[in-house]
Amino acid sequence: MRQGEHALTQQVGSKGYYGEVRLAVDLRDDPGYAIDFDRACVPEWKVGVEFGIVYGWELFRRNCPGAKGLSVKVLEIKGKPADTSNLVIAFVSANALWKALEWTPPKLPTLDPKTGYFTFSKY
């Protein structure tokens, strides 16, 4: 299994953005994807992790149509109540997945820290 991790730590005035995710990823021969969480992962950000992985996998598959399936083990999720949201975690998770796959999409998701807007491109 390949591992990928990504962190976002940014403060702009009173707005803070923080999240870290670490994944283990394996490409499979059967279609679809499976996401498994380590027991130590906090449940409050699981939805964000799942969205980030599914989004990242969709973009990867569009570029690499030979890739059939994906297995992901979420090893660690870190956040802070005031600076972490499922949107932050989705952003971090997609980037962690791409690092594990050693691939970069043509247009990465972005964060405008002044407005708090995240953009997830259709690609």
pLDDT in tens, 12-60: 888 899 999 999 999 999 999 999 999 999 899 999 999 999 999 999 9
- Token look-up 């380590």 returns 38
* Residue 109 in tokens: 């998701």
pLDDT over 90, % of the chain:
87
Q: Is 81 strand, coil or helix? A: coil
Query: Do the Cβ atoms of 19 and 92 come closer than 8 Å?
Result: yes
Q: Can you give the pLDDT at residue 5?
A: 98
> 4-8, 69-73, 75-79, 109-113: which has the minimum mean pLDDT?
109-113
Q: Is 2 strand, coil or helix? A: strand
Give the contacts of 15 (CB within 8 A, at least 6 positions apart). 113, 114, 116
Q: What is the pTM of this model?
A: 0.95
